[in-house]
Amino acid sequence: MERMTRENPGLAEGHYRCPINSGQEISIKNFHNNSCIFGTVVDLLGRYEDTGLTPREIMELKLLRGKK
C-alpha cells in the first residue's frame, strides 16, 4: 500500500498530514450547505472506516498475520 499521509514531526504520535503535492486528487466543495473534502485521500479513509475496525484492531490483525 502506498502511503498518502506523513507523520507530523514534533507532535504526539498519531498526528498526520497529507501533502498536497503527493500527487493525490483533493477538492473542497460545498455540498448541502457544508464545506466538504473530496478526493483520493477521503475515499481511502472511507474504505478504512467501512471495515468497522479501529486502528488498534487493524494492528492486532496485522500482528496475528505476522506482519509489522
Residue 4 above 90 pLDDT? Answer: no
**Assigned domain for 54 exists:** yes
Domain enclosing residue 57, as ranges = 24-68
Q: Please give the Cα distance from 65 to 68 (Å, whole number).
A: 9
**Assigned domain for 11 exists:** no
**Assigned domain for 34 exists:** yes
CA separation, residue 62 to residues 16, 54, 55 (Å): 21, 12, 10
**Assigned domain for 10 exists:** no
Residue 66 above 80 pLDDT? Answer: yes
**Assigned domain for 2 exists:** no
Each residue's pLDDT tens digit, 16-45: 887 776 666 778 888 888 888 888 888 888
Model pTM score: 0.64
**Assigned domain for 52 exists:** yes
